[in-house]
């Protein structure tokens, strides 16, 4: 195994691990804010949870990007051909 493969594996792991931190914090804050809003106004729970779902999907995409980058590095690395 050459050094390029080693670097690819390490950077794939780092992409996922560090890429998960930001979205995790952001999702926590979003859910906390939505819970607070629902506790204050239970009658608008359906609107809030729908918006929350869409927002969570947006935030989650950041982590998914990192995952896709990691998979590209591991399985479709153009430098290792």
Partner 1 sequence: MNSPLSSPPVWQIGPVTITGDVVATWVIMAVLVAASLLATRHLALVPTRTQAVLELIVGTVDQQIRDTMQLPPGRYRAFIGTLFGFIFVANWSSLIPGVRPPTAHLETDAALALLVFLAVIWFGVQAGGIRGYLATFATPNLVMVPLNVIESVTRTFSLLVRLFGNVMSGVFVVGIVLSLAGLLVPIPLMALDLLTGAVQAYIFAILAMVFIAGAMPPKGNKQ
Judged by CB under 8 A, does residue 67 bind partner 1?
A: yes
Q: How far is the CB of 47 from partner 1 (least distance, A)?
A: 7
Tell me the C-alpha to C-alpha distance, in Å, between residue 38 and each of 15, 58, 60.
35, 20, 22
Judged by CB under 8 A, does residue 30 bind partner 1?
A: no
Among positions 32-61, residues that touch partner 1 (CB under 8 A) are: 46-47, 50, 53-54, 57, 60-61
In the chain, count H helices and then E strands.
2, 0
Q: How far apart are CA 30 and CA 11, in angstroms?
A: 29
Where along the sequence are the contacts to partner 1 (CB under 8 A)? 46-47, 50, 53-54, 57, 60-61, 64-65, 67-68, 71-72, 75-76
């Amino acid at each position: 195994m050459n050094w390029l493969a080693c670097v690819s594996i390490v950077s794939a792991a780092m992409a996922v691990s560090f890429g998960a931190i930001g979205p995790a914090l952001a999702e926590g804050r979003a859910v906390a804010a939505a819970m607070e809003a629902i506790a204050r106004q239970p009658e608008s729970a359906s609107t809030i949870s729908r918006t929350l779902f869409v927002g969570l999907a947006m935030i989650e995409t950041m982590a998914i990007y990192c995952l896709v980058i990691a998979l590209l590095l591991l399985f479709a690395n153009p430098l290792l051909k």
